[in-house]
A and B are shown apart, each in its own frame.
Chain A
Amino acid sequence: MSNTHQLTELFANTKGTTYQCDTTNRIIIQFGETRVSLRITDFLTFKKRVDSVDIHTMIFNTDDAYDVEVIDAPRTGHLFVLSLCDLIALRDLLAGTRFVLDLNTLLNERIYSTLVF
């Protein structure tokens, strides 16, 4: 991604930060060492995948298979391999991001609805 692209920070927590790029119309997720760039539809799909993981099963099932969750980030060729703590942090990051996106929609509706140019 070019440095000339203007990034707006959307949300941050201890594990990561999300940005919006108005040049490419993409959401950038920086999570630990991983950085992926998603179209908005793919971001929403990714969020649904992360939200659909059964955290209680991960906590209470002692089988090794439940120690990590592997989630595909759509159309990036990247797989997130997440421990329970990672998963909770990523869920928080994406929920915060979604909140800011919705807040932005609300602001656009209220403030900019008459300005079409």
Chain B
Amino acid sequence: MKDLVRMRTSLKEEIERILNEQIKMEAHSSAIYLAMAAWCDRNGFDFSAGYFYKQSNEERNHMLKLFNYVSDMGGHAISPEITNVPQEFNGFRDVFELALQQEIAVSNSINRIVGTARQLNDFATDQFMQWFVKEQIEEEYVARRAIELFDVIGEEGVGRYMIDKAIPKISYGDVEAQ
């Protein structure tokens, strides 16, 4: 008897399900960053707005990378429905704290996928997800550094203006640029 399931896809059902959940999570992150960009624009933090627009694009690219993988492996990639995107934030620092929390949640989720892939002997997915593991090191660093700037520069006086200007210059592994 032919193995019709395996002929269709090399992805196990559980892996396909968690990858689709990750697709949704990345799309949600992209939407949240877009809302953060708009909030920064509305409140005069022009440089930070640019940073969040860039982050939003990155998250969408992550989503597409996962989406293409699921499709390429013969799986059913589901275009996600995005709801519950916060549009208002309590303050400048609060935006960045939420961004860090979002990145931590993404890292945890990626770690769970790698763990499941290894449990199910899905080495292709394990290998594929390693790119995301590395990417999250950078994403978390940048988000954490942004919050650090609030402490280092301080929000008083022209502090917020200076922080706003410094945000787009944060880059992982290049201390000179900061």
* Residues on A facing B (Cβ under 8 Å): 8, 20, 22, 25, 27, 40-41, 44-45, 101-102, 104-105, 108-109
Contact = CB atoms under 8 A, between A and B. Distances in A.
Contacts of A22: 1-2
A104 B1 CA distance: 8
B79 to A, nearest CB: 14
Contacts of B4: 20, 25, 27, 40, 101
Contacts of A8: 1
A90 B161 CA distance: 63
A108 B6 CA distance: 9
B7 interface: yes
- The dominant DSSP class at the B interface is helix
A44 B76 contact: yes
A22 B2 CA distance: 6
Nearest to B121: A109
B72 to A, nearest CB: 15
Nearest to B16: A44
A20 B1 contact: yes
Given A40-B8, A41-B8, A108 B3 contact: yes
A105 B76 CA distance: 18
A46 to B, nearest CB: 12
A40 B1 contact: no
Contacts of A40: 4-5, 7-8
Given A8-B1, A104-B1, 5 more contacts: A40-B7, A45-B76, A101-B4, A105-B3, A108-B3
A97 B3 CA distance: 13
Contact of A41 (B1, B3, B6, B76): B76
Contacts of A101: 4-5
Interface in B1-47: 1-8
A110 B4 CA distance: 16
B2 A102 contact: no
Nearest to B1: A8
A105 B125 CA distance: 19
Interface string B70-95: 00000010000000000000000000
